[in-house]
Amino acid sequence: MAKVKTNTTPRFIVIGNPENRRIALFQTTLQRSGLPAATVVSYLDLLTGHQSLENVIQVGDIIRIESPGENFAVEQQFIALGTTDLATEGKYISAKQAVELDYEHGCIYYPRQWYQGFSAFLRKMQTTFEHLWQANIHFTVMNAPLNILTMFDKRRCHQLCQDNNILVPPSLCCAIDSYDKLREVMIHTGQRRVFVKLAYSSSATGIVAYEIDSQGIREQAYTSVELVYRQKQPIFYNSIKIKRYRNHTDIKTIIDWLCREGVHVEQWLPKAHYQGYVYDLRIVIIAGQARHRVVRLSKTPLTNLHLGNARLNASELQLTNKLWQRIETIAVRSATLFSKSLYAGLDIILPLRSQTPMILEINAFGDLLPGIYDNGMDTYQAEVVALFGTFQK
């Protein structure tokens, strides 16, 4: 790998979970690019007050904010931080209860309250950055905290795209707060198939592909949510194996729970096919350019790669250059809505009938695509090069 050419030696600061493979991959990129290893500031240290960004950031630093996922102690702290904002909004737990939660692999804990805590954390981070800039401590942030916050909110992203004439799957016209309300709206509008998504989530957490027959009698749901009853109480888990539910009580239980946490509901558009699979696309935009592309194949309506779905080299689809130009144009336009972010992962659907590209989601941490290269670079190296502009030969 060629080394990055810079006039000065930059220092990267990565805010994340030190044990996470994302940080290991980024550190490897820095090493191979001839740059010093990043200073890692853990979410847990920041959340518990053992570290502060004011004491870490120096002039000329480059800040990378990584995914906070896959660390239960950090999840607990975000839930605890979200308590105050939810005190008048329904079911929540106290900060003390949050940090005393018992870990169960795959269990989904209070996603709305988690987002409130994550939101408070990112807003505080943004305020810290602004205070440092005002004190003439100049540094670069790869993806701005408030951009990340918006990307995590599916409803806001959907509306932002609509406001800017970027095509997205149509959403249901009114707020959905229960299974019964969802059914009422679907039957009234003649809509037989929808996606019900947790408004604040990532990695296919809390997504249900729900459909009913023309009379609204028979129903089924494909979902990553695994429902388990314990002492007659429902417990909800993330599953990497897609579940199909046909029992009315189970479906109602799952959707009612999702609605209590907050949902975004949109039409379930048939996806394009490839050799018996449905597919959509993940495209990483870096510095305003469409770079890394991967096709996500599935036998179910959910295409996320971590669910065990296959991936395909984009060239194997044999799409026309004109269609690729349309796909990349909508991806770049969508990423441009987040002008203070160097990169984003865009999920794009080609509806089966129209083949008109539409944005499904915008992912703040959507650049984890090991083994996918553009011009010989993986996503992390392409991001580093985008910051400095050139290689040292």
> Secondary structure of 47-90 in the HEC alphabet?
HCCCCCHHHCCCCCCEEEECCCCCCHHHHHHHHHHCCHHHCCCC
Q: How far is CA 243 from CA 251, 300, 304, in A?
A: 11, 10, 14
Instruction: Give the pLDDT score at 2.
Output: 52
Average pLDDT taken over every residue of the chain? 92
Q: How far, in Å, CA of 114 to CA of 96, rounded?
A: 14
pLDDT at 84: 62
Tokens at 336, concatenated: 């441009």
Whether residue 109 contacts residue 75, with contact meaning beta carbons closer than 8 Å, is answered with yes
Q: pTM of the entire structure?
A: 0.93
Predicted confidence (pLDDT) per residue in 60-110, tens digit: 999 999 999 999 999 999 999 998 655 444 478 999 999 999 999 999 999
- Please write the tens of the pLDDT for every residue from 242-278: 999 999 999 999 999 999 999 999 999 999 999 999 9
* Of 328, 269, 340, the residue nearest 293 (C-alpha): 328
Give alpha helix (H) positions in the chain. Answer: 21-32, 43-47, 72-81, 95-99, 111-134, 145-151, 154-163, 179-189, 248-261, 321-336, 379-388
Give yes or no for a contact between 364 and 147, defined as CB atoms under 8 angstroms apart.
Answer: yes
Distances in whole angstroms, Cα of residue 106 to Cα of each of 16, 142, 225, 256, 359: 20, 30, 10, 20, 28
Task: Give the model confidence (pLDDT) of 333-376 as tens digits.
Answer: 999 999 999 999 999 999 988 889 999 999 999 999 999 999 99
> Helix %, strand %, coil % for the chain, to 5?
35, 30, 35
Asked whether 141 and 130 are in contact (CB, 8 A), the reply is no
- The CA distance from 122 to 154, in Å, is 17
Decide: helix, strand or coil at residue 349: strand
